[in-house]
Every structure is written in structure tokens, then in C-alpha cells.
Amino acid sequence: MSLVVLGGGVSPFVRKVRVFLAEKGQPSQHEQVNPFAPPAGWREISPLGRIPALRDGDRVVNDSSVICQYLERRFPDPSLYPKDDYEFARALWLEEFIDGGFVPLAGPKLFLALVLRPLMTQTPPDAATEAAAQKAWDEEIAPLLDYLERELGDREWLVGDRISIADITVASPFVNAHHAGFAPARKRWPKLRAFLDRMWKRPSFAPLIAEETPIFGKRAERITD
């Protein structure tokens, strides 16, 4: 029975599901779906019109968080959710912190403004857009990075002693920020930056980043530290 992830590969939510599947060791296919120019019948698959959706044979599951929990039950080994009650709650909280907090800020203000819209309109961002993105990073996003830096402490993983949904979810949208030319500065957020370096080198993340960088990653050259 085949697993198919539907959605644009550069979406942090789609990447999260693809990485999750790779960490589970589950082969899957990826079908590009642009939610802003969807194929006919897309609303029957995704009633809110959003990506990702997962096709598992004749079943469809929506929403990255729901999909990952479904996959955890369907393929329990290796587990990507902590067993301990409190650690489980912490992992879900960090997932929500990113999906409901970081992405709604960084998505439109960095990636959409500086990468996706310019690519679609073939018009480079103007100075006001660049300045607005920098301001969002410095004033709105930086406190979220401070929080992640504290949460990581000196540990390898955000929660518990092995990779979990929290690590995958946190690492995914920072790829988009990187494409937009933003990364947590090594001086101010050394632990977060080292964590991202480690995560992105994993066999689950690396091929996806390699696949999208030629298309979306031009601005990353601005990152100097």
C-alpha cells in the first residue's frame, strides 16, 4: 500500500511530514500540489484547501500534525513521540509553538515576501519589504528564538533523549527562513543554530533541502556567520 504526501515541497508543513516519514523509515511518494493553483477536485481531498494531505491507499488524512499522529499509530517503530506524559505534552507544545506561532510570522514576513512572491512575480523585493522582514526578525521572531535557545539548553534534542516530533517540527520552517536569508546568529543563538545544523544533515532532511535549494535558496548566500 503506497503512501503519498500531497503538497508543495517547500511548505514547512509538507516538509515536516516527509521528514517524519523518512525518520520512520517508511518509503513514500511526493506529489506536488500548489494550494494557490490546486488541481481539479482538490477540495474533495483537502476541504480547507490546505497542504499537506496524505493519501494512504484509499484513505486521506489532512493537517501535518494529524498526519504525523496517524503515522505514529500506523508505524509505531521507531516512535517519534515521547512516552513520558509530560515530555509528550512538551513535544506537542513545541509543535504548536512552531506551527501556530513561528510559521504564521516567518512564513508571510520572510519566505513569502522575500522568496515566493518575488519568484512568482519575477520582481525582486523592494527596500521597504526587505526592511519589514528585518524588523519582523529583530522584533517579533527573535523572542521566539530566545525561547528555543533556552528550551534546548545543553541537550541534543528538544525533548527527551531521542529525536521526536518536536525536533522535526522546529527544524522544518527554519529551512524557509534560511532560503529567505535569515538564520539564528551563532553568537546570540549558538545552541539553536548548532541544533539546526545537526538536524539538516540528517538523511531525512538533507535530500529535501538539496532538492529545493537550487529553486528557492539564492538568498541564503547572504548568511555570513
Q: Which helix (H) or strand (E) holds 4?
A: strand 3-6
Beta strand 29-31 with 53-56 is: unpaired
Which of 172, 169, 167 is closest to 212 using CA atoms?
172
Q: What is the DSSP letter of 82?
A: -
Shortest Å, Cβ 57 to ligand GSH:
20
Query: Quick one: 24 or 193, whose CB is closer to ligand GSH?
Result: 24
Query: Quick one: 98 or 193, whose CB is closer to ligand GSH?
Result: 98
Query: Quick one: 52 or 193, whose CB is closer to ligand GSH?
Result: 52
Shortest Å, Cβ 117 to ligand GSH:
14
Shortest Å, Cβ 153 to ligand GSH:
27
Cβ atoms of 136 and 110 closer than 8 Å: yes
How many angstroms from the chain centroid is the CA of residue 84? 25
Binding-site ranges for ligand GSH (CB under 6 A): 11, 13, 35, 49-52, 63-65, 99
Query: Quick one: 35 or 101, whose CB is closer to ligand GSH?
Result: 35
